[in-house]
Homo-oligomer: A and B are copies of this chain.
Amino acid sequence: METLSILLADFTPMDPKDYVGFTFFVGCMAMMAASAFFFLSMSSFDSKWRTSILVSGLITFIAAVHYYYMRDYWGASVAADGLENGSSPIFFRYVDWILTVPLMCVEFYLILRAAGATKKLMWTLIGASTVMLVTGYWGEGVDRDNAWLWGLASGLAYFYIVYLIWFGEAKALATSAGGEVLKAHNILAKFVLIGWAIYPIGYMAGTAFGDPEGLQTEQWYSFAAGIEMDVIYNIGDAINKIGFGLVVYNLAVTSSSK
């Protein structure tokens, strides 16, 4: 059917001061464009690098779809309750992260495969990132009374990933590979250490270390006055996902042209 022509009697223009909505919109479009870029550039690489580029595109594509939903969710919330009371789509963020973060771990494996990375390493990284995210979701969304405990578990999993990439098996393989692969590995490792740091910060801000002031669950992060975590997440996500993919892309370009 789809014949649809309802219109608001009272048209509400976009508020230029809605930075959250603005960065949701930019984020969605940037992720979409990045996905198109990665997918369409695949055919220019030989098959050895294609899987890496494909996974880069999948990461931004999954994010693009979630930003589409988050943008809508935020917009509906602002339209219903006003800009001051916009509701953070943390539900969608976790769905996004649960799918994209393990895929970012897979990228480390794909890059180091030629240097001898085993599937066991890949599954270790996937497993640690899944633990990190599921415990994080549980602490923020379900069992907020014990947020500190779930946050601790999540943090331990995170630091295990950091350890593997900065000092452990993954680092050793990157060092043995050397050259462009090592350079790329080091940049990606910095993404994990620095770029991903915004997520535990957001976690702590959102749960307020056990939620002592009794914030309602459905008002996560909606600080009328204060730091807008969503703006930080939106910019952070864009850098962490598109930047991550571009490092891999650059490695593929420099390795293929040799």
Contact indicator A80/B17 (Cβ below 8 Å): no
A61 within 8 A of B: yes
A65 within 8 A of B: yes
Which residues of chain A (146-173) have a CB below 8 Å from chain B?
Answer: none
Which residues of chain A (77-124) have a CB below 8 Å from chain B?
Answer: 77, 79-81, 87, 89-92, 94-96, 98-99, 103
A241 within 8 A of B: no
Contact indicator B3/A75 (Cβ below 8 Å): yes
Q: A80-B7, A95-B22 are in contact. Are A72 and B13 (CB under 8 A)?
A: no
Contact indicator B58/A37 (Cβ below 8 Å): yes
Not counting A16-B217, A33-B99, a sample of 12 additional A-B residue pairs whose C-beta atoms are within 8 angstroms of each other reads: A1-B69, A1-B72, A2-B4, A6-B8, A7-B8, A8-B76, A8-B80, A22-B91, A26-B99, A29-B95, A41-B54, A44-B47
